Amino acid sequence: MSATLTDKRRAVRDPHWLRGLMIGGTLLAAGLLLLLPLAVIFIEAFRDGWRGYLESFNDPYAWQAIRLTIIAAAVAVPLNLVFGLVASWAIAKFDFFGKSFLISLIDLPFAVSPVISGLVYVLMFGLQGWLGPWLSANNLQIIFAAPGIILATVFVTFPFVARELIPLMQEQGSEEEQAALSLGASGWQTFWRVTLPNVKWALLYGVILCNARAMGEFGAVAVVSGHIRGKTNTLPLHIELLYNEYNSRAAFAMASLLALLGVATLAVKTIIEWRLRQVQLASLEPSTVEPS
């Protein structure tokens, strides 16, 4: 009996040489393709030690770029956070005609390449755009100015929060909300006390991904920015500028900030995923330990 079991086990297990080869291949690919690019950023940034690294930040344009990056994220993330909550309430708690089509439309910005995401706003608000003549007559500027950068950032980060919340809220259904309402809670109370606590981890997950993309976006903002140093450069655009001026130490120093943000985002994401799995396992437990 035990012999056939080990035979069976052997039959579905890969031979040792194959295991070694696959693990080796994975470590090599992850090392060369994922870790080495990350390492090179910090090594180039610290080429001249700490002093050289800090010197790279002695640049008012860099601080203006950091400021604009933070402003763009500070507008885009809350807007898309509120949108995510509103859209997922409408989609997950009600049944209506055209719902799956609406979900596809919300995901649309993911299918649009970054350069095109910027271009559509140039076509709307640029000098030759639909609203261009009216804007310039009223002395308003959107393209080649901060509003254009903010708009492009809002566009590329549009689906992040909504797409984390919608599937989760659909799965949770609306029984708890119905119970709260029938016990006399108002709509707002139900939302704050029942719905929001139920989705908080997915919400946080969506927000950190949204923020990472907002601060790191390059293609879309490159198109609408006009690259005016100290005015319409975000951090990624400032990195491009420094790099093209062969000021590679400073370019990598700026890149190290965004790389740190990326690593922090990955770390938080991994912790949240781990937590969500714990919650899921805990809810599965009673059925798996049923006495036979």
Partner 1 sequence: MAFKLKSRSVLPGFGLTLGLTLTYLSLVVLIPLAALFLKTATIPWDRLWLMISEPRVVASYKLTFGASLVAAAVSALLGFIIAWTLVRYRFPGRRIIDAIIDMPFALPTAVSGIALTALLSKNGWIGRYLEPLGIKAAFSPLGITIALVFIGLPFVVRTLQPALEELDGEAEEAAASLGASRFTTFVRVIFPSILPALLTGFALAFARAIGEYGSVVFIAGNMPMKTEITSLLIVTKLEQFDIAAASALAVVMLLASFAVLLAINVLQWRIAKRYRGVM
Q: Which of 53, 155, 160, 205 binds partner 1 (CB under 8 A)?
A: 155
Size of the site for partner 1 (CB under 8 A): 94
Residue 163 CB coordination number (10 Å): 19
| CA pair distance 44, 227, nearest whole angstrom | 24
User: By C-beta, is 198 or 265 nearer to partner 1?
Assistant: 265
User: By C-beta, is 64 or 73 nearer to partner 1?
Assistant: 73
User: By C-beta, is 55 or 185 nearer to partner 1?
Assistant: 185
140 belongs to the binding site for partner 1 (CB under 8 A): no
281 belongs to the binding site for partner 1 (CB under 8 A): no
Angle ∠(220,104,81) on CA atoms, nearest 5: 60
User: By C-beta, is 149 or 251 nearer to partner 1?
Assistant: 251
Positions in 103-132 near partner 1 (CB under 8 A): 105-106, 108-109, 111-116, 119-124, 126, 128-130
Q: Tell me the closest approach of the beta carbon of residue 206 to partner 1, in angstroms.
A: 13
Positions in 15-44 near partner 1 (CB under 8 A): 15, 19, 22-23, 25-27, 29-30, 32-38, 40-41, 44
205 belongs to the binding site for partner 1 (CB under 8 A): no
Positions in 250-269 near partner 1 (CB under 8 A): 251-252, 255, 258-259, 262-263, 265-267, 269
Write the secondary structure of 126-174 as one string of H (helix), E (strand) and C (coil). Answer: CCCCCCHHHHHHCCCCCCCCHHHHHHHHHHHCCCHHHHHHHHHHHHHCC
Positions in 79-98 near partner 1 (CB under 8 A): 83, 86-87, 89-91, 93-97
Length of the chain measured in residues: 292
Angle ∠(85,161,258) on CA atoms, nearest 5: 145
Cβ-contact 122, 129 below 8 angstroms: yes
77 belongs to the binding site for partner 1 (CB under 8 A): no
User: By C-beta, is 50 or 94 nearer to partner 1?
Assistant: 94
53 belongs to the binding site for partner 1 (CB under 8 A): no
Q: Name 235's Cβ contacts closer than 8 Å, sequence gap at least 6.
A: 65, 66, 68, 69, 215, 254, 257, 258
Phi-psi region of 291 (alpha: psi -120 to 50; beta: other; left: phi over 0): beta
